[in-house]
A and B are shown apart, each in its own frame.
Chain A
Amino acid sequence: MRLELRDIRHVYSPGTPFEVKALRGVSLTVEPDEVLGILGGTGSGKSTLVQHMNLLLEPADGTVLVDGVDAARLKKSELRRRVGLVFQFPEAALFAPTVWEDVAFAPRRLGLEESEIGDRVRESLALVDAEDLKDRSPFGLSGGEQRRAAIAGVLAMRPEVLVLDEPTSGLDPASRQKLLRLIQTLRDTGTSVVLVSHDTDEMAEVADRICILEKGEIRAIGPPADVFYANPDFAPATVSTVAALGDDGHGIGRPVRFGETLRALAGLIEG
C-alpha cells in the first residue's frame, strides 16, 4: 500500500494563548515494502505526524491518501486496520485478563470468526516471540514482555503499514535487538514500517529511507547515506566516525550500517 501525506498542517489549541503550530506543511509518501525512519527532537512534530497516518488526528489542512483514495472518505475502522499504530509505551493500554484476550481485542472488533481470531492471535504472538505468554496476565509481565504483547495486539489486525512510535524506549539491549529484527521481518514479508525514534544508531541499522523533521517541517528525506552525511547533527556513530576522518577517509565511500562501516574502516587500517 502506498500511504501519502500531502501538505499536512496541524495546529494545537488554535486561537488560544496555547496555540502551537505542530506541522507546517509536511508531504511524504510511505512506499510499499520499506522501513521509513522518522527522526527529530522533542517538538519536531514527529508524534503528531504519525497520528495523521491513521487519522487519529485530523489535519487542519492537507490530505492523507491511501492508494490514491482520500483517507477521510474511508471508514475509520477500515483505515485503522490497514494502518496500524503503536504508541510509545504501548503497554499502558494492556487491559485484558490474559495476553491472548488482549491480542484478540482488535480482531474481535473487526468481526472475524473465532477460528480466524485464534489464527491471528497465534500468528502475532509468534511474530513477537511471545507464544509462551498467551495465558499469562499482562500485568504480571516484565516491561519487555508487555511491550511485545502490546505490539502483537496491533499486528493481529494484519496492517499493511505499521507505525511504531519509539518502540525501543526503556528496553534493555537484548529486547531492543529483538524488536529491530521484528521490524526487518515485517518489511521482508510485505508490511511497510514507519519507525519514529530519537535513536539514530538503531535507525541506521533498519531504515531504507530517513526523514528528518524539524519544527514541523521536513528538513531532509532520502536514502540514509544521503541524509546522514548531509546532516551531521543527526548522524549515527558510524557515519560520524567516517565523517570525522575527513580527507583521511577518502575512498571508503559512505557506509551507514555497522557491518559495512566496520568492513570499510578495517580495510582502511589494513590498507
Chain B
Amino acid sequence: MKRANASGSDPRILPDTVSIACEGLTYSYPGRAEPALSGVSFRVRTGEYVGIVGPNGGGKSTLLRLLNGLLRAESGKVMVSGHDPSESPFQVRRRVGMLFQNPENGLVAPFVEDDVAFGLENLGAPREGMRDRVREAIRAVGLVGYGRREPHTLSGGEKQRVALAGLLALEPEILLLDEPTSMLDAAGRREVLYRMQGLRGEKTILHVTHHLEELLDADRIMVINGGKLAADIPPGRLISNPDLLAKNNLVLPPLLRLAAELGLDAAASRTPEDVAQAIRERVRRRAEAR
C-alpha cells in the first residue's frame, strides 16, 4: 500500500503490520480529578514516523509512558510490538527505546561505553557480543572515540546522542522520543536530529516535540490536547490550518509562519532558500500574468 508524505511526492511503501495499537486508552494521575488521557485510540504501522504535538500538560508524555509500561492504563487496550505493556513490560522494553527530555538524567554510568552497554546488561545479553554492539551503536551516533569520556564533560547534544546509542544498542523496533531536543542549543539539536533522521524507515518512531519544523517529514502528526486525540493528520494539513494550530496552542516556527502567511506551501519550506525560491516563483508568475 502506498502512502504519500507531506509534500505529495516520493511515496513510501510501508509494510502492513501494526506496531502499536491503542483503543480507548485512559489514565489519571493519582490524586488528580481530571484524567490525563481519556479514550485515546490510534494505530501506528511498522516503519511509520509519527509526530505528537500539543500543549504542555495535555497528555503527550503520559501517552509515551503508557506505551512502554512506565504507567499502567486505567482502562482501554494497548498493544506494543505484540505485547501489552502493563502485563509484560520487560518484553516491551526489549523492543521499545525511549529517549527523554533531560539529557543529564538518562545517563547512569560514569563512562560513555558503560552507559551504552547498560541496556544490554539488563537484558542479560551475552558478554561476547556486547563490545561489538556497543561500538556499533557509538559509531551510529557519530561519537567514535568517546568511549572513555565521562558524561559530565559532554555537551547536551553529545549526552543525548550517548542516550540514543544506549537505545540503539538493543536494536529496538520502536523509538519513543519525548521532546529530545527541547533542552539543547541549536548545535545540539542539529546533531541529534541528524542522527534521528538517519533512523527513518528502519524504525517505527513516535516523536513528541514543540518544534513543528522537526516533523515536516513525518508520515502523520497526532495532536493531543486535554487528554484527547484532537487530530491525526499529515503535516501539510496541520501546518496549513491556522484554526487547528490556534485551538491547540501550536506555534509555527518563524520560517514556516512566514511561508504560511505569505500564502506559500509551508510544508515544503524546509530552508530559507525554499521560501525564497517560492517567492521568486510567485513574482515571476505575476509578472507573466501581466
Residues of A at the B interface (CB closer than 8 Å) are 41-42, 142-144, 166, 169-170, 172-174, 177, 198-199, 201, 236-238, 240-246, 248-249, 258, 261-262, 265-266, 268-271
11 contacts between A and B (CB under 8 A): A42-B185, A142-B56, A174-B56, A198-B186, A238-B258, A246-B276, A248-B283, A262-B258, A270-B286, A271-B286, A271-B287
Contact B254 A238 (CB under 8 A): yes
Interface hub of B261, B263, B279 (most chain A Cβ within 10 A): B279
B161: shortest Cβ distance to chain A, in Å? 14
A261: shortest Cβ distance to chain B, in Å? 7
A261, B261: Cα distance in complex, Å: 11
The residue from B55, B251, B283 contacting A268, defined by CB atoms under 8 A apart: B283
Which are the 7 A-B pairs with shortest beta-carbon distances? A244-B276, A240-B272, A173-B251, A237-B255, A237-B254, A241-B272, A198-B185
Please provide the chain B residues from 235 to 273 with a CB less than 8 Å away from any CB of chain A in the complex: 249-251, 253-255, 257-258, 261-263, 272-273
Q: How far is the CA of A246 from the CA of B255 in the complex (A)?
A: 17
Inter-chain contact A169/B183, CB cutoff 8 Å: yes
Q: Please, how many residues of chain B have a CB less than 8 angstroms from a CB on the other chain?
A: 33
Instruction: Given A199-B186, A243-B272, verify A172-B56 contact (CB < 8 Å).
Output: yes
Binding site secondary structure of chain A: helix
B210 within 8 A of A: yes
Q: Is the CB of B272 within 8 A of A237?
A: yes
19 further A-B contacts with Cβ under 8 Å, apart from A241-B258, A243-B272, A258-B258, are A42-B155, A142-B57, A170-B101, A172-B210, A173-B251, A174-B55, A198-B187, A199-B186, A238-B254, A238-B258, A244-B277, A245-B276, A245-B280, A248-B280, A249-B276, A258-B257, A262-B261, A265-B262, A269-B263
Q: In whole Å, how far is B187's beta carbon from the nearest beta carbon of chain A?
A: 6
Q: Are A170 and B182 within 8 A (Cβ)?
A: yes
- How far apart are the CA atoms of A177 and B251 in the complex, in Å? 10
| Contact flag A237-B258 (CB < 8 Å), given A169-B183, A170-B182, A172-B210 | yes
With contact pairs A170-B182, A243-B272 given, residues A42 and B187 touching in the complex (Cβ less than 8 Å): yes
Contact of B262 among A142, A143, A266, A271 (CB under 8 A): A266
Nearest B residue (CB) for A262 = B261
Q: B3 contacts the other chain (Cβ, under 8 Å)?
A: no
Q: Tell me if B56 and A237 are in contact (CB < 8 A).
A: no
Complex formed: what's the CA distance from A244 to B277 in Å? 8
List the interface of chain B (C-beta within 8 A of A).
55-57, 101, 155, 182-183, 185-187, 210, 249-251, 253-255, 257-258, 261-263, 272-273, 275-277, 279-280, 282-283, 286-287
Determine the distance from Cα of A113 to Cα of B282 in the docked complex, in whole angstroms. 65
Whether A174 touches B249, Cβ cut-off 8 Å, given contacts A199-B186, A237-B255, is: yes
A164 to B255, CA, bound (A): 25
Contact across chains for B272 and A269 when beta carbons are under 8 A apart = no
A142 → chain B closest CB, angstroms: 7
Min distance, Cβ A231 to any Cβ of chain B, angstroms: 14
Bound-state CA distance A271–B251 (Å) is: 29
Contact status B183-A262, CB under 8 Å: no
Q: Is the CB–CB distance between A269 and B249 below 8 Å? A: no
Residues of A close to B249: CB separation below 8 A:
172-174
Most B C-beta atoms less than 10 A away, residue of A41, A144, A201, A245? A245
Least CB distance, A225 to chain B, in whole angstroms: 16
**Contact indicator A144/B276 (Cβ below 8 Å):** no
Bound-state CA distance A143–B258 (Å) is: 29
The distance in angstroms between the C-alpha atoms of A201 and B255, with both chains bound, is 9
Using Cβ atoms and an 8 Å threshold, which residues of chain B touch A248? Answer: 276, 279-280, 283
Cβ-defined partner of B283 (8 Å) among A42, A144, A271: A271
Q: A173-B210, A241-B258 known; A268 and B185 CB under 8 Å?
A: no
Q: How far is the CA of A2 from the CA of B262 in the complex (A)?
A: 41
CA distance A32 to B261 in the complex (A): 35
Q: Considering the chains assembled together, what is the distance between the CA atoms of A244 and B269 in angstroms?
A: 13
Q: How far is the CB of B134 from chain A (nearest CB, A)?
A: 26
Q: Given A201-B254, A271-B286, A172–B55 Cβ distance below 8 Å?
A: yes
A269/B255 contact (C-beta < 8 A), A42-B187, A172-B55, A237-B272 known: no
Contact B283 A269 (CB under 8 A): yes
Count chain A CB atoms within 10 A of each CB in B101, B272, B273, B287 and give the residue with the most.
B272
